[in-house]
Chain A
Amino acid sequence: MNKTFVNIENISKFYGEIKALKNISFSVGEGELFGLIGPDGGGKTSLIRILTTLLKPTEGRAEINGMDIVKDFKKLRKIIGYMPGRFSLYEDLTVEENLKFFATIFNTTIKENYHLIEDIYSQIEPFKNRRAGKLSGGMKQKLALSCALIHKPEILFLDEPTTGIDAVSRVELWEMLKKLKDQNLTIIVSTPYMDEANLCDRVAFMQKGEIMEINPPETIIQEFNEPLYSVKGDDFYHLLLELRKMEITKTAFPFGDSIHLTAYNNINPSELNAMIEERMRIKTETQKISANIEDCFMAKMINTE
């Protein structure tokens, strides 16, 4: 890992009785693309808001590039780029007016840092005179990202940037993040979509205010050592319910047009087919497969419940 850029020590955040974050500690290296993955309500947004100086942690401390997130918040606000979870630009201002406004309040100009946002902004530039409220979801995100980058931040926080936008825009957004990372920008991004974990250097899997695991996505996949099968058959929902009742089944989840099943012990796919047929009188197609990142997270979620 490169030089440590973000260092978080034992951060907790309570909202009254609710413990949104419990004793979180980790660090992120300079130029790293770090993912916070987990279901809604896991504490991702609270953590990002603490790191962007918007909230004070109840306990613990954190530093970004040597600056304390509570004490040095004024200095930090100059080097942070932040894209909140929901669209937070001025909808009654045009695309260009928004960008110009954010450039100016960070004491810079569009011209000065145009090279930073060129890839992204050039796609929405044809609509620069359109009011931001009239843009499509994907274009709004591109504009928001442009505004978050226009002042050349040293670290970029994105809170669920791909929630609610189309598949093509999602792919494009991650390509942009990769490019930004190549320019040595440190990026912390949260997402509820587990497949996006593959695109990060390292991911933290967050659930119920705790970090279950931090690893590069490849490591997470390698460490998965349960036998995994893909089962296809008619009467999908009924099949799923029945599979979950079988003694050999540890977990069974729908995954696209098939069901991913983890078993307690290794079993031949044709044997599994026979078992299902005997039980339910339907024909199934079963294959042994290797795990993808979602299988790993699903397994982790089950294990902790």
Chain B
Amino acid sequence: MKAFLAFLKKEFYHVWRDPRSLLILIGMPMVQVILFGFAITNEIVDAKIAILDNSKDEVTQEISNKILSSKYFKLYEYLSSKDQIERAFKKGKIKIALVFENDFSQKLNRNENPKVQIIADATDPNTATTLINYISSNILDYQTKYLKNKSGGLEVVSKMEFNPQLKGVYLFVPGTITIILMLISAMMTSISIAREKEKGTMEILLVSPIKPLMVIVGKVVPYISLALINAVTILLLGVFVFGLPIRGSLLVLMLEIILFIITALGLGIFISTKVNTQQDALLISLMGLLLPTIILSGFIYPIESLPEILQYVSHVIPAKWFLIILRDIMIKGTEFGLIIKETLILFGMMMFFLIISIKNYKIRLE
């Protein structure tokens, strides 16, 4: 026990005295959350819009004002001819243009269908789609109100479940937690064990009575605590800075986080049994863990939109299951009973990695 404590103390010294890894461990989570939360977001703010209003009556004014008053659009200019639209697009001055036809309100009153044209810059198709959707829904909104006042007519109601404002933070905070935990747990442990091999200290540890299991556990404990601290930091940032809800049980959430941390640590130890240098450990962790975690976990691209073969591959990515659990608990407020399947899969993966890494841990140099 004393030996184990001494080993733990040594590990904490390593972490504490290496400014580079400390920076990664503490700085990176913050930077990532802030980057993902603020900068890398799907939301569009202040998209430049030009309006060509050929009728200039109260209906078109009202629709324009409604659109311009939202935070998504910012007026670039009221135009006076069609040519100007093309020019504005080519100069990159606007993202979207709105054209009302002549005699808009009169046509509406005559029960004809006046046309409003939306032209978007589709060099960035995602943004274009989003912008068109915003505007269409605004117009539809106006139309339903207008029709309601005039003659009753039809009403269209659309509702976005769980994330009515389609906030990007809801997507990015769980994803960021997943990536950070994966990185810290798997990458840092694999590097830290590989360092002992690279520096030759593993040779001395091997020629000592200290048990392999003790070395592994000693390596793991500091990173469990660091990863937990990071998870809590990100959650706090998500809740207090980005207004993310935690609708489910906090206790279940923390237990699931610990489960995922240990799974990632198991993976890290497994990597370290296969490599001999810190550089290899870093490369394998980055290429083998980080990329699949980002791409195949459903963090950025929905799993349903992946090619079928990659959908199968995504089943073996622990992050995928963890992300489902996180989103369910935090945003949907799902009960534990409904995520038992995902939890069990993650648990199975954890046991698998722990067992093969202990089996693979070498008691000699070769």
Complex CA–CA separation, A101 to B204 (angstroms): 12
Contact partner, A82, options B6, B13, B207, B209, Cβ 8 Å: B207
Tell me whether A80 and B3 are in contact (CB under 8 A).
no
Shortest Cβ gap from A65 to chain B (Å): 15
Which candidate, A88-96, A207-215, A296-304, is the interface stretch facing chain B?
A88-96
The answer, yes or no, to whether A255 is at the interface (CB within 8 Å) is no
Kindly state the separation between the CA atoms of A90 and B14 in the bound complex, as whole angstroms: 9
Q: Are A56 and B200 closer than 8 Å at their CB atoms?
A: no
Q: Which residues of B contact A55 (CB under 8 A)?
A: 364-366
Task: State A101–B14 Cα separation when bound (angstroms).
Answer: 13
Partner of A54, one of B13, B199, B207: B207
Q: Whole-angstrom distance between the alpha carbons of A141 and B121 in the complex?
A: 70
Task: Across the interface, name the chain B residue whose C-beta is closest to A76.
Answer: B207
Residues in B with CB closer than 8 Å to A78 are 209
In the complex formed, the residue of B with least CB distance to A103 is: B6
Looking at the assembled complex, report how far the CB atom of A80 sits from the nearest CB atom of chain B, in whole angstroms. Answer: 6
Cβ–Cβ contact A107 & B2, under 8 A? yes
CB closest residue in chain A, given B17 = A92
Range, interface on chain A: 20 to 34
For residue A270, CB closer than 8 A to chain B, the reply is no
Does B18 have its Cβ within 8 Å of any Cβ on chain A? yes
- Nearest residue (CB) in B for A159 is B203
A237 within 8 A of B: no
Determine whether B36 belongs to the interface, using a CB cutoff of 8 Å to chain A: no
Chain A residues within 8 Å of B366, by CB: 55-56
B68 at interface by CB-CB < 8 Å: no
Report if A104-B3 is in contact (Cβ < 8 Å); known contacts: A77-B208, A90-B10, A90-B14. yes
Q: What's the nearest-Cβ distance from chain A to residue B23, in Å?
A: 15
With A104-B3, A104-B6 given, is the CB distance from A88 to B207 under 8 Å?
no
Q: Which residues of B contact A106 (CB under 8 A)?
A: 3, 208-209
* Interface assignment of A105: CB less than 8 Å from any CB of chain B: yes
Interface size on B, residues (CB 8 A): 26
Is the pair A88, B6 in contact by a Cβ cutoff of 8 Å? no
A residues in contact with B3, CB < 8 Å: 104-107
Q: Is A87 an interface residue (CB 8 A)?
A: yes
Q: Is the Cβ of A77 less than 8 Å from the Cβ of B209?
A: yes
Contact B201 A90 (CB under 8 A): yes
Chain B residues with Cβ under 8 A from A93's Cβ? 10, 13
Which residues on B sit within 8 Å (CB–CB) of A82?
A: 203-204, 207
Write the nearest CB–CB distance from A54 to chain B, whole angstroms: 5
Of A80, A89, A92, A104, the contact of B13 (CB 8 Å cutoff): A92
Q: How far is the CA of A149 from the CA of B184 in the complex (A)?
A: 36
A126–B205 alpha-carbon span in the complex (Å): 26
Instruction: Give the complex CA separation of A147 and B9 in angstroms.
Output: 17
- The answer on a CB contact under 8 Å between A53 and B203 is no
Is the pair B209, A88 in contact by a Cβ cutoff of 8 Å?
no
| In the complex, B363 has a CB within 8 A of chain A | yes
A52 is an interface residue with CB less than 8 A from chain B: yes
- Across-interface contacts of B9 in A (CB, < 8 A): 101
CB-nearest residue of chain A relative to B14? A92
Give the complex CA separation of A55 and B362 in angstroms.
11
Which of A86, A92, A102 makes the CB contact (< 8 A) with B208?
A: A102
Q: Residues of B with Cβ closer than 8 Å to A? A: 2-3, 5-7, 9-10, 13-14, 17-18, 199-201, 203-210, 363-366
**10 smallest A-B Cβ distances: which pairs?**
A88-B200, A104-B6, A82-B207, A92-B17, A54-B365, A105-B3, A105-B210, A84-B203, A78-B209, A52-B207
Additional pairs, 19, CB under 8 Å, beyond known A91-B199, A101-B6: A49-B365, A52-B207, A53-B364, A77-B208, A84-B200, A84-B203, A84-B204, A87-B200, A88-B201, A89-B204, A90-B13, A90-B14, A90-B201, A92-B17, A92-B18, A105-B3, A105-B6, A106-B209, A107-B3
